[in-house]
Structure 1
Amino acid sequence: MKGLALILALLWAPMAVAQTTQLRTLDTDYSAASWKAVGRIDFGGRAFCSGTLIARDLVLTAAHCLYQPGTDKLWPTDGIRFSAGFREGKAVATRRAADAAAHEGFEPVGALTAQNATYDVGLIKLSEPISTFEVPPFYVHDGRISPGPVSVVSYGRGRENAQSRQKECQMLDRAGDAMVFDCDVTFGSSGAPVFTHRNGRGQIMSVISGMVRIQGQKRAIGMALPDRVTELKRQMRMQVAAPVAKVRRITVGGGNRGNTGAKFVRP
């Protein structure tokens, strides 16, 4: 792929966008009950992203969230905090980070490209696990992916105090491991899970990386997940322990790198 130009050339949204629903705030215990594993990640009280518990002690998010906005400088690990099901100042569970990893294939500075978005995946290891009885984690989808309806649960600028859910938006098309959605995203939505509901309880098929405009329409960019998550887990296990106040960049072989910025981290 040659970056976002290829996406713009290949992707045209022939699907009926009329099925796409409006974003809705999950402002009651009942509406938020199924989405407790989606939480807000705060970085030193200066920025936030969305993230999802995928194991008792692992949070999935976007790699660019782990970098201070507009730089290649990583947030100190001891200033990262995950609040599961955060709503109106309260969380089902809150944990500090013990470790974090941004995929080595991701470049934190520059323009958003489709290739770089495919590596925009990060993992945060929590200082203490969260009980699965208290907060059931979501699985990462590793089956077939095709255009069609998905849903997104996220935080965002102007709605940072409660989760918002778009019950149905569309995965419009795919080029390689890059995907384009018509989901309603904004600053703070970075790292938000994109769910497929084709196999019962929602499974995470992608993570929101950034936003572009295609033919005048706002579109969200995400990536295929299974390989990226597997690579990050393996490297986190193998890596020698690093100092507490440092986020490690993970090396997974060679490969080409694109350029992108921290598109949805709140300054």
Structure 2
Amino acid sequence: MRYLAAACLALLSLTPAATAQSRAVFDVMESRGDLLGWEAVGRLDLPNGFCTGALIGRDLVLTAAHCVFDPVTGAPYPARGMTFRAGYHHGSAITERRVDRWAVPERYSELAADGTSSSGSAVATDVALLRLAQPISSAEADPFRVHEMPAPGTRVSVVSYGRGREEVLSRQPDCEITRRYREDVLGFDCDVTFGSSGAPVFVREDNRLRILSVISSGNARGESYGPSLPALVSELRQRLNREDARPKVTTGARRITVGGGSREGIGARFIKP
């Protein structure tokens, strides 16, 4: 995990100019028609910015855990302060819902309270599951399924609302799993930027798209990282179904940031500039 921590620390040295020089090719969904099949991916609007999220159930949205913490104060956002806008496109959405409650892994909550920012466990548990106030119908958006971990070399794609493309959905269609780290952290050669936090990483199975991971962090070399999902998602589903699933605000809570508390750079620890 030392390599992973060093790679994530590179976030702090990445400037907007360096991002602009990226060679990544994106399919930008400029028209409403381009969103066909992607309606379940949406923009998660937060009190101080936005992330990307995706439906994995009629009332369940998957994103990154650090998205639900205020980047300045480190305090968890109240659920009702978040809105999921499915198929967001130039100011309008196919449908939108307020968030009713959310859950993150217990291990992530511990790291947030401790301020352990450079641990690989931060990336390994950087997942949040949000329950919407009302379900979204299948006529509006069809949820995606979560996929088990495939082997390195498997082709993947990332769909997100990135900086400079925050009003339209865009897809990087051609990247792959480069490495599997300890604690089931996956490395990708996908190029991510502000707004890509929580973006679904897709893999194709039997000609159907499944969510393999969510974007947690990235660096100046075009590398990105995300956690394995099945066990974490199962845990969070159970927590949301319990009476005590609502997040508890504590005075010691701090936001996890890879490499420190700076808001500069790209990847997992970012909100709208």
Q: Same fold (TM over 0.5)?
A: yes
Q: Any gaps of 5 or more consecutive residues in structure 2?
A: 9-22, 250-255, 262-267
CA distance in 2, matches of 1:220, 1:73: 25
Distance 1:241 1:208, change over 3 A: closer
Deviation per residue, 1:110-139 (Å, 9 max, x gap): 534432101000011000000022200000
Query: What is the DSSP-based 3-state SS (H/G/I as helix, E as strand, rest coil) of the residue aligned with 1:50?
Result: strand
Q: Which residue of structure 1 lines up, in the alignment, with residue 160 of structure 2?
A: 154
Question: Which position in structure 1 is the counterpart of 2:226?
Answer: 222
**Shift >4 Å, 4+ stretches:** 5-8
Q: How does 1:79-228 map to 2 (within 5 A)?
A: 79-106=81-108, 107-108=111-112, 109=115, 111-142=117-148, 144-176=150-182, 177-213=184-220, 217-228=221-232
1:148 deviates by 2.2
Residue 152 of structure 2 contacts residue 176 of structure 2 at CA under 8 Å; is this kept in 1?
no
Q: Deviations along 1:195-223, whole A, 9 cap, x unmatched?
A: 0013321100000001135xxx2311111
RMSD, aligned α-carbons: 2.3
Q: Cα gap change, 1:179/1:143 in structure 2, threshold over 3 Å: closer, same or farther? A: closer
The structure with the largest helix share of the pair is 2
Matches within 5 A, 1:4-153: 4-5=4-5, 22-44=25-47, 46-106=48-108, 107-108=111-112, 109=115, 111-142=117-148, 144-153=150-159
Alpha-carbon displacement from aligned partner over 1:148-193 (angstroms, at most 9, x marks no partner): 2101100122211010111111211111311111112111100000
CA displacement at 1:248 relative to structure 2: 4.6
Letter in 1 for 2:105: H
In the alignment, the residues of structure 2 paired with residue 221 and residue 71 of structure 1 have an alpha-carbon distance, to the nearest angstrom, of 25
* Contact 1:100–1:248 under 8 Å retained in 2: no
1:138 counterpart letter in structure 2: F
For the residue of structure 2 that corresponds to 1:64, the secondary structure is helix
- Distance, in Å, in 2 between the alignment partners of 1:200 and 1:38 is 18
Gaps of at least 5 residues in structure 1 are 9-19, 250-257
3-state SS of paired residue (2:33): helix
The answer on whether the counterparts of 1:112 and 1:210 sit within 8 Å (CA) in structure 2 is no
Kindly, what percent of the aligned residue pairs are identical?
41
CA distance in 2, matches of 1:161, 1:112: 32
* Aligned-pair CA distance for 1:266: 2.5
Q: Tell me the secondary structure at the aligned position of residue 129 of structure 2.
A: strand
Give TM-score scaled by structure 1 length: 0.82
User: Structure 1 residues 30, 131: CA separation in 2 closer, same or farther (over 3 Å shift)?
Assistant: same
TM-score (norm 2): 0.80
Is the CA contact 1:23–1:184 (under 8 Å) kept in the aligned structure 2?
no
* Match of residue 238, structure 1, among 220, 238, 242: 242
Amino acid corresponding to residue 72 of structure 1 in structure 2: G
